[in-house]
Protein backbone atom coordinates (compact mmCIF):
# COMPACT_ATOMS: atom_id res chain seq x y z
CA UNK A 1 0.00 0.00 0.00
CA UNK A 2 2.78 2.43 0.90
CA UNK A 3 4.74 1.63 -2.26
CA UNK A 4 1.65 2.31 -4.41
CA UNK A 5 1.69 5.85 -3.06
CA UNK A 6 5.32 6.35 -4.01
CA UNK A 7 6.98 5.63 -0.67
CA UNK A 8 10.25 3.73 -0.71
CA UNK A 9 10.35 2.06 2.71
CA UNK A 10 7.78 1.28 5.38
CA UNK A 11 8.18 -0.11 8.89
CA UNK A 12 6.03 -0.55 11.99
CA UNK A 13 6.84 -0.23 15.70
CA UNK A 14 4.78 -0.59 18.85
CA UNK A 15 3.49 2.74 20.17
CA UNK A 16 5.10 3.31 23.55
CA UNK A 17 6.93 5.97 25.49
CA UNK A 18 10.52 6.60 24.37
CA UNK A 19 12.22 6.77 27.75
CA UNK A 20 15.84 6.75 26.54
CA UNK A 21 15.09 9.33 23.87
CA UNK A 22 13.36 11.49 26.46
CA UNK A 23 16.51 11.55 28.56
CA UNK A 24 18.73 12.42 25.57
CA UNK A 25 16.35 15.13 24.41
CA UNK A 26 16.23 16.70 27.86
CA UNK A 27 20.03 16.76 28.08
CA UNK A 28 20.25 18.30 24.60
CA UNK A 29 17.77 21.02 25.55
CA UNK A 30 19.53 21.65 28.87
CA UNK A 31 22.75 22.31 26.95
CA UNK A 32 21.00 24.90 24.81
CA UNK A 33 21.79 23.11 21.55
CA UNK A 34 18.44 24.15 20.07
CA UNK A 35 19.50 27.80 20.03
CA UNK A 36 16.57 30.07 19.24
CA UNK A 37 14.35 27.11 18.24
CA UNK A 38 12.24 27.51 21.38
CA UNK A 39 9.50 25.35 19.90
CA UNK A 40 11.75 22.37 20.66
CA UNK A 41 11.04 22.96 24.34
CA UNK A 42 7.29 22.74 23.85
CA UNK A 43 5.12 19.65 24.18
CA UNK A 44 7.93 17.52 25.61
CA UNK A 45 5.58 14.73 26.75
CA UNK A 46 3.99 14.59 23.31
CA UNK A 47 7.38 14.18 21.64
CA UNK A 48 8.31 11.13 23.64
CA UNK A 49 4.91 9.42 23.96
CA UNK A 50 2.78 8.78 20.84
CA UNK A 51 -0.24 7.77 22.94
CA UNK A 52 -0.52 11.40 24.00
CA UNK A 53 -0.71 12.50 20.38
CA UNK A 54 -3.21 9.79 19.42
CA UNK A 55 -5.21 8.41 22.36
CA UNK A 56 -5.34 4.63 22.22
CA UNK A 57 -2.38 4.45 19.82
CA UNK A 58 -0.99 0.97 19.31
CA UNK A 59 1.28 1.34 16.28
CA UNK A 60 3.68 3.84 14.76
CA UNK A 61 4.08 3.41 11.02
CA UNK A 62 7.17 5.06 9.54
CA UNK A 63 7.64 5.65 5.84
CA UNK A 64 10.60 6.99 3.89
CA UNK A 65 10.52 8.85 0.59
CA UNK A 66 13.65 9.38 -1.46
CA UNK A 67 14.50 12.91 -2.58
CA UNK A 68 18.00 12.43 -4.00
CA UNK A 69 18.11 14.40 -7.28
CA UNK A 70 19.70 13.40 -10.56
CA UNK A 71 20.42 17.06 -11.39
CA UNK A 72 23.16 19.21 -9.90
CA UNK A 73 23.37 22.94 -9.39
CA UNK A 74 25.58 25.07 -11.61
CA UNK A 75 28.97 25.77 -9.96
CA UNK A 76 28.27 29.50 -9.59
CA UNK A 77 24.85 29.01 -8.00
CA UNK A 78 24.45 29.62 -4.24
CA UNK A 79 24.11 26.18 -2.70
CA UNK A 80 20.64 24.96 -1.79
CA UNK A 81 20.00 21.81 0.23
CA UNK A 82 18.74 19.03 -2.02
CA UNK A 83 15.51 18.56 -0.10
CA UNK A 84 14.42 22.04 -1.25
CA UNK A 85 15.05 21.61 -4.98
CA UNK A 86 11.41 20.97 -5.89
CA UNK A 87 7.90 21.32 -4.48
CA UNK A 88 7.67 21.70 -0.71
CA UNK A 89 7.84 18.18 0.71
CA UNK A 90 5.41 19.08 3.50
CA UNK A 91 2.63 19.55 0.95
CA UNK A 92 3.53 16.52 -1.14
CA UNK A 93 3.89 13.99 1.66
CA UNK A 94 1.03 15.36 3.78
CA UNK A 95 -1.36 14.67 0.91
CA UNK A 96 0.05 11.15 0.43
CA UNK A 97 -0.20 10.43 4.16
CA UNK A 98 -3.84 11.46 4.15
CA UNK A 99 -4.44 9.11 1.24
CA UNK A 100 -2.47 6.38 3.00
CA UNK A 101 -4.72 6.55 6.07
CA UNK A 102 -7.82 6.66 3.90
CA UNK A 103 -6.69 3.51 2.07
CA UNK A 104 -6.18 1.74 5.40
CA UNK A 105 -9.66 2.76 6.50
CA UNK A 106 -11.17 1.62 3.20
CA UNK A 107 -9.60 -1.83 3.54
CA UNK A 108 -9.94 -2.41 7.28
CA UNK A 109 -12.76 -0.20 8.54
CA UNK A 110 -12.83 2.31 11.34
CA UNK A 111 -9.23 3.20 12.18
CA UNK A 112 -8.13 6.34 13.95
CA UNK A 113 -4.77 7.90 13.28
CA UNK A 114 -2.77 11.02 12.54
CA UNK A 115 -0.02 11.53 10.02
CA UNK A 116 2.96 13.75 10.71
CA UNK A 117 5.54 15.20 8.34
CA UNK A 118 8.07 17.32 10.21
CA UNK A 119 5.16 19.36 11.52
CA UNK A 120 4.49 18.06 15.02
CA UNK A 121 6.44 16.93 18.10
CA UNK A 122 7.43 13.48 16.80
CA UNK A 123 10.88 11.87 17.05
CA UNK A 124 10.81 10.52 13.49
CA UNK A 125 14.32 9.08 13.37
CA UNK A 126 13.85 7.13 16.58
CA UNK A 127 10.67 5.59 15.25
CA UNK A 128 12.37 4.78 11.95
CA UNK A 129 15.11 2.92 13.82
CA UNK A 130 12.56 1.10 15.94
CA UNK A 131 10.74 0.14 12.74
CA UNK A 132 13.85 -1.51 11.30
CA UNK A 133 14.47 1.09 8.59
CA UNK A 134 18.01 2.04 9.59
CA UNK A 135 20.18 3.54 12.28
CA UNK A 136 20.93 7.09 13.39
CA UNK A 137 24.38 8.11 12.19
CA UNK A 138 26.93 10.36 13.83
CA UNK A 139 25.50 13.29 11.88
CA UNK A 140 22.06 12.72 13.40
CA UNK A 141 20.51 11.53 10.14
CA UNK A 142 18.75 8.24 9.63
CA UNK A 143 20.93 5.96 7.51
CA UNK A 144 19.45 3.15 5.45
CA UNK A 145 21.94 0.48 4.43
CA UNK A 146 20.59 0.17 0.87
CA UNK A 147 19.60 3.78 0.23
CA UNK A 148 21.69 6.17 2.31
CA UNK A 149 20.15 9.18 4.03
CA UNK A 150 18.47 11.39 1.42
CA UNK A 151 14.96 10.51 2.59
CA UNK A 152 12.01 12.38 4.00
CA UNK A 153 10.60 10.65 7.06
CA UNK A 154 6.87 10.62 7.78
CA UNK A 155 5.00 9.03 10.67
CA UNK A 156 1.48 7.65 10.99
CA UNK A 157 0.36 7.00 14.56
CA UNK A 158 -2.72 4.79 14.70
CA UNK A 159 -4.88 2.75 17.07
CA UNK A 160 -4.55 -0.21 14.70
CA UNK A 161 -2.63 -3.15 16.16
CA UNK A 162 -0.17 -4.56 13.64
CA UNK A 163 2.73 -6.97 13.34
CA UNK A 164 5.81 -5.06 14.46
CA UNK A 165 9.16 -5.02 12.71
CA UNK A 166 12.36 -5.72 14.60
CA UNK A 167 14.34 -2.60 15.51
CA UNK A 168 17.54 -1.98 13.56
CA UNK A 169 20.06 -2.90 16.24
CA UNK A 170 23.38 -2.36 14.45
CA UNK A 171 25.43 0.81 14.15
CA UNK A 172 27.12 0.57 10.77
CA UNK A 173 29.00 3.87 10.98
CA UNK A 174 31.89 2.03 12.62
CA UNK A 175 34.96 4.19 13.12
CA UNK A 176 34.13 6.55 10.23
CA UNK A 177 34.19 10.24 11.20
CA UNK A 178 33.86 11.89 7.79
CA UNK A 179 30.75 13.86 8.76
CA UNK A 180 32.39 15.11 11.95
CA UNK A 181 35.63 16.03 10.19
CA UNK A 182 33.86 17.77 7.28
CA UNK A 183 31.48 20.03 9.21
CA UNK A 184 32.91 23.56 8.81
CA UNK A 185 31.12 24.91 11.90
CA UNK A 186 31.96 21.94 14.17
CA UNK A 187 28.28 21.30 14.80
CA UNK A 188 28.69 17.50 14.84
CA UNK A 189 30.11 16.29 18.13
CA UNK A 190 31.32 12.86 19.28
CA UNK A 191 28.65 10.62 20.73
CA UNK A 192 26.05 11.25 18.01
CA UNK A 193 25.32 14.73 19.29
CA UNK A 194 24.55 17.55 16.86
CA UNK A 195 24.67 21.08 18.20
CA UNK A 196 21.74 22.47 16.28
CA UNK A 197 22.66 26.04 17.17
CA UNK A 198 25.96 25.69 15.26
CA UNK A 199 24.60 24.05 12.10
CA UNK A 200 24.63 25.93 8.79
CA UNK A 201 21.00 24.93 8.27
CA UNK A 202 20.14 26.60 11.56
CA UNK A 203 21.85 29.84 10.61
CA UNK A 204 20.42 30.01 7.08
CA UNK A 205 16.86 28.90 7.87
CA UNK A 206 15.89 28.80 11.53
CA UNK A 207 17.71 31.86 12.86
CA UNK A 208 15.60 34.93 12.23
CA UNK A 209 18.16 37.56 13.29
CA UNK A 210 19.08 39.85 10.41
CA UNK A 211 22.73 39.74 11.43
CA UNK A 212 24.51 36.38 11.40
CA UNK A 213 27.34 35.73 13.90
CA UNK A 214 30.62 37.23 12.71
CA UNK A 215 32.53 34.20 13.98
CA UNK A 216 30.84 32.16 11.24
CA UNK A 217 32.32 34.25 8.43
CA UNK A 218 33.87 32.11 5.67
CA UNK A 219 32.47 28.90 7.21
CA UNK A 220 29.31 28.45 5.16
CA UNK A 221 31.05 27.06 2.07
CA UNK A 222 28.58 28.93 -0.20
CA UNK A 223 25.51 27.34 1.37
CA UNK A 224 22.65 29.85 1.15
CA UNK A 225 19.78 27.60 2.26
CA UNK A 226 20.42 24.54 4.40
CA UNK A 227 23.47 22.30 4.07
CA UNK A 228 24.20 18.80 2.76
CA UNK A 229 27.89 18.51 3.64
CA UNK A 230 27.53 15.76 6.25
CA UNK A 231 25.36 13.74 3.86
CA UNK A 232 27.48 14.34 0.77
CA UNK A 233 30.59 12.96 2.48
CA UNK A 234 28.83 9.96 4.05
CA UNK A 235 30.03 6.68 2.46
CA UNK A 236 26.55 5.18 2.77
CA UNK A 237 25.21 7.70 0.29
CA UNK A 238 27.10 5.97 -2.48
CA UNK A 239 23.93 3.86 -2.55
CA UNK A 240 21.67 6.87 -3.14
CA UNK A 241 19.62 6.60 -6.30
CA UNK A 242 17.79 9.45 -8.07
CA UNK A 243 14.16 9.78 -7.08
CA UNK A 244 11.29 9.38 -9.53
CA UNK A 245 8.91 11.88 -7.93
CA UNK A 246 7.69 14.52 -10.39
CA UNK A 247 6.78 16.86 -7.52
CA UNK A 248 10.46 16.96 -6.55
CA UNK A 249 11.63 18.02 -10.01
CA UNK A 250 14.11 20.84 -9.33
CA UNK A 251 13.09 24.40 -10.01
CA UNK A 252 15.24 25.76 -12.87
CA UNK A 253 16.06 28.80 -10.73
CA UNK A 254 17.53 26.60 -7.98
CA UNK A 255 19.81 24.86 -10.43
CA UNK A 256 20.83 27.75 -12.63
CA UNK A 257 20.64 31.18 -11.01
CA UNK A 258 23.98 32.76 -10.22
CA UNK A 259 24.65 34.72 -7.04
CA UNK A 260 24.30 37.96 -8.99
CA UNK A 261 20.90 36.90 -10.34
CA UNK A 262 19.73 35.92 -6.85
CA UNK A 263 20.81 39.29 -5.50
CA UNK A 264 19.00 41.15 -8.29
CA UNK A 265 15.74 39.29 -7.64
CA UNK A 266 12.85 41.37 -6.32
CA UNK A 267 10.67 40.27 -3.43
CA UNK A 268 7.66 39.86 -5.72
CA UNK A 269 9.61 37.59 -8.05
CA UNK A 270 10.94 35.60 -5.09
CA UNK A 271 7.44 35.02 -3.76
CA UNK A 272 6.18 33.99 -7.19
CA UNK A 273 8.97 31.52 -7.92
CA UNK A 274 9.18 29.96 -4.47
CA UNK A 275 5.55 30.12 -3.33
CA UNK A 276 5.37 26.29 -3.30
CA UNK A 277 8.96 25.73 -2.23
CA UNK A 278 10.52 25.03 1.16
CA UNK A 279 12.85 27.94 0.35
CA UNK A 280 9.98 30.27 1.22
CA UNK A 281 10.63 29.39 4.87
CA UNK A 282 13.59 31.73 5.05
CA UNK A 283 11.60 34.48 3.31
CA UNK A 284 13.02 37.02 0.89
CA UNK A 285 14.83 39.05 3.55
CA UNK A 286 16.38 35.93 5.03
CA UNK A 287 17.73 34.77 1.68
CA UNK A 288 19.15 38.20 0.94
CA UNK A 289 20.78 38.19 4.37
CA UNK A 290 22.35 34.82 3.65
CA UNK A 291 23.65 35.90 0.24
CA UNK A 292 25.18 39.02 1.68
CA UNK A 293 26.87 37.00 4.44
CA UNK A 294 28.40 34.67 1.86
CA UNK A 295 30.00 37.65 0.12
CA UNK A 296 31.84 38.49 3.35
CA UNK A 297 30.81 42.14 3.30
What average pLDDT score do residues 204-233 get? 96
Average pLDDT over the chain reads 94
Q: Given 21, 49, 91, 118, which residue is catalytic?
A: 118
To the query of whether residue 118 is one of the catalytic residues in this protein, the response is yes
Are residues 114 and 60 in contact, defined by beta-carbon separation less than 8 angstroms? no
Q: Over range 71-89, report the average pLDDT.
A: 96
Q: Which of 5-9, 118-122, 201-205, 229-233 has the lowest mean pLDDT?
A: 118-122
What is the torsional sign of CA 190, 121, 126, 92? negative
Strand locations in 117-166 (E) = 135-136, 142-143, 151-158
Please tell me the distance from the alpha carbon of residue 167 to that of residue 2, in angstroms, as a whole number: 19
How many whole angstroms separate alpha carbon 90 and alpha carbon 118? 7
d(CA 225, CA 289): 11
- % of the chain at pLDDT higher than 90: 88
Domain-by-domain residue ranges, the chain? Answer: 3-291
pLDDT > 80? residue 271: yes
pLDDT digit string, tens, across residues 36-66: 998 888 888 888 999 999 999 999 999 999 9
- CB contact at 8 A, 13 and 167: yes
pTM above 0.85, yes or no: yes
Which phi and psi (to 5°) does residue 136 adopt? Answer: -85, 120
* Each residue's pLDDT tens digit, 231-256: 999 999 999 999 999 999 999 999 99
Amino acid sequence: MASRLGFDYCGVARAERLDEDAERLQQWLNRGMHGSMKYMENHFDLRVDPTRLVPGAKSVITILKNYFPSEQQQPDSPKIAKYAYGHDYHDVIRARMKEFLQNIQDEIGEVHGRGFVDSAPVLERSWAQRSGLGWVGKNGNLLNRTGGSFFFIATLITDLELVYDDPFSRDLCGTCTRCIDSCPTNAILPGKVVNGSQCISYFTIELKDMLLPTEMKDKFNDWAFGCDICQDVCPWNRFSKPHEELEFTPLPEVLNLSTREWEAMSEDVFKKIFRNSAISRTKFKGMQRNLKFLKNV
